[in-house]
Amino acid sequence: MANRERPLSPFMLGQTYRLQITTVMSFLHRLTGLALAAGAFGLAWWLLALAAGGDSYANLATCLASPLGKLALFGFTACLVYHLFNGIRHLLWDAGRGFDIPAVYRSGYTVAVLTVLVTAAIWFLALRGGA
């Protein structure tokens, strides 16, 4: 057998294969799904602290008000918004819409822009008191 000098699959990115938005969006959808699953434990922690009342909830509120807690909440919000919009995109694909390449790229960029805008709007409203 001849020894061909072809790149192996882990080394294809960069040399042979150009990273595309479809690849990035698919990877991010899976990653945000994992983050949301992990965030469900945070939600359960919040509900348990709420049920326990008093000091338990005060300790959790202090933790969530810290810079690290706010960063975690911001990340959870961004993951939730992205996963929602990309899930709607996938539902449209399940209905047979938006499969041509320009539509795939357009919907991908739309999801990215909407994620940034909606996450920013949620946090803007949350930080100004929701009024």
Binding site listing: 83
Binding site listing for heme: 83
- Exposed (0-12), middle (13-18) or buried (19+): which is 87, by Cβ within 10 Å? middle
The 3-class SS string of 46-84 reads HHHHHHHCHHHHHHHHHHHHCHHHHHHHHHHHHHHHHHH
Which residue(s) pair with 17 in the sheet? 13
